[in-house]
Amino acid sequence: MAKNTYDDSSITVLEGLEHVRKRPGMYIGSTDERGLHHLVWEIVDNAIDEALAGYGKEIDVTINEDNSITVEDNGRGVPCGMHPTGKNTMEIIYTKLNAGGKFDNNAYKTSGGLHGVGASVTNALSTYMIVTSYRDGKIHQIKFENGGKKVSDVVILGETRKTGTTVTFKPDSEIFSTTVYNFDTIKTRLRESAFLIKNLKMVIIDRRNGKKEEFVYENGISEYVAFLTNGKKPLHNVAYFEGVYNVPDVNDEIEIEVALQFTNDYNEKIVSFVNNVKTQDGGTHETGFKSALTKAFNDYAHKMKLIKDNQTLEGADIRTGMTAVVSVRISEKLLEFEGQTKGKLGTPAAKSAVDTILSEKLGYFLVENKSLSEALVQKALKEAEARAASRRAREQARLDKSQKGEKNISAKLAPTSEKNKEINELYLVEGDSAGGSAKQGRDRRFQAILPLRGKVLNTEKATLEAAMQNEEISTMIYTIGADYGAKFDLKKCNYKKIIIMTDADDDGAHIQVLLLTFFFRYMKPLVEDGRIYLALPPLFKITKRGKKEEIVYAWTNEEKDKILKECKCPTILQRYKGLGEMNAEQLWETTMNPETRTLVKVGIDDEAEAENQIEVLMGSDSNRRREWLENHVQFTLEEEEGE
């Protein structure tokens, strides 16, 4: 038998880029489509940092026919001389993990890519990379292959008057589960970056099909807010505020930009960035923004006698219907993030910066726009009244429950027997028939069943009052137990998974969309935290009539055809028209058993794009919806056989 030993020879040292290839998830998060596109972001972020530093006004991203990527900017070009280490600087930048200009405050005042690993990680996970630098009147080029191995030293291809950097790379198919780039994913990211830097031109070209789009915005984040509120009825033009905050005692400053707009909507939306990096989980700059907004509105309302001296407007009520973009730029010296990712800003001075500058400027704005300001205060008061009424209704419902037993708002709910929020699941089931089978077939220890009657209300069109008065909506809010809107508290949610289970037909798909719209509008943290799922019931039941009868299921037509083709015995094929056709055992086996079921997790890749899509598809603007359908859906008329 081989003897297991652990001594000096057991220790393996992975040099440089070898560790990236061995553990790519540590550097790019995953090796699926998300990780694949992360390679592009690393190179694009370098080009954006040049633009932030004041060099270059255009960045072009090209998807080549072989799914390689070319990123070209007109910045200063990467340095091409000899580094003090004895190697060419171009080689060091693209092969050393902790090399780059982001560690030197003299090279970049602010930067999104602060870890100094981006370009080299992209190189490590590519089959080849070609870097061309236009600098100092010459064209310098270096090539790498097979995960960052240098093909040759830097060569000079000729002379030039232009400046900038061009990087071409092809992701390694041995690393990634897919190497096919998505045009819309890259387009969305480039458009977002163009919004954040005024007059920066972002271009995406797809050589595979000839698509090309360009983005450039003279008014920056003001146009971003207008994009996010497209299709809604604004109460005023987008308000824009900017300023520079001098941080005490450190001889440094923080630049802030804020754009906001109130609409007749009932949902709050704040999108925040630091150095062009989206802070998905907010942070100190968002805290400063909310503090300034609440302070300015209350000061104005008291000054104008719109509320009583002892009355205070709550921030959540003020922000109802507001869309805002908060962008701050902070030097590397001051920049702090919470956790391992850049999802939440932790710089304490950012709160003071946004709070101080916005409080003053927003105060002037409210005074200068008296009629609008009074209308917004009244809107906040109305929202407070609606929340109070909703709270009283829920309290009454709980009272009814204690007094009248099951005659209350959650009478249809089949609850779990255990009260473990970390494992419990809530199934939202289409119809009482399927709900009955689900109740019988479930594991009652951790699976709750809530049958829904018909199609729920379209909350994209309905007012807040109408939504809260809707029985199905109220039942879901009461059952989930975490409130709704700005008051939603994820910690109070009664379930780890909320699973939408509908028939596999058009009506079922419509119910899914209606429910997803509700969750996106009123319980967005559920979606962001990955708690919303779609159940996938099978389309077919196939009974094999051999020596021993066997039942198998198929979820697609292709799967069904394969089973029938490979089967050597007589079969009986049943197409499920709805969940109600399954008995409890079949529903458990195919759709509810955690060991055998298939669930689709619902997430938000790009919030702005999701916002726009829901507004188009579920909103009240029928012209925009018709235009989208005409551009994205092909309608065909199938003739019956023999006609």
Active-site positions?
Answer: 430, 503, 505, 507
Beta strand pairing call for 269-274 and 252-262: unpaired
Cross-strand partners of 364: none
**Residue 196: CB atoms within 10 Å:** 24
φ, ψ (nearest 5 deg) of residue 293: -65, -50
What beta strand segments (E) does 388-506 contain? 425-430, 447-452, 497-501
Nearest to residue 275, comparing CAs of 516, 602, 49, 459?
A: 49
Token pair of 423 as six digits: 């494992």
- The residue type of 223 is E
Nearest to residue 142, comparing CAs of 62, 88, 75, 98?
A: 88
Token pair of 368 as six digits: 């200068």
Question: How far is residue 206's CA from residue 217's CA, in Å, rounded to a whole number?
Answer: 22
Nearest to residue 507, comparing CAs of 582, 577, 611, 591?
A: 577
Question: How far is residue 333's CA from residue 349's CA, in Å, rounded to a whole number?
Answer: 12
Question: How far is residue 81's CA from residue 440's CA, in Å, rounded to a whole number?
Answer: 73
* CA–CA distances in Å: residue 376 to residues 266, 267, 300, 359, 425: 12, 14, 11, 17, 39
Cross-strand partners of 212: 205
What is the Rg, in whole angstroms, of the alpha carbon atoms belonging to the chain?
A: 29
Long-range contacts of 457-461 (CB under 8 A, 24+ apart): 457/514, 457/518, 458/514, 458/517, 458/618, 459/514, 459/517, 459/518, 459/521, 459/522, 460/517, 460/521, 460/614, 460/615, 460/618, 460/619, 460/620, 461/618, 461/619, 461/620
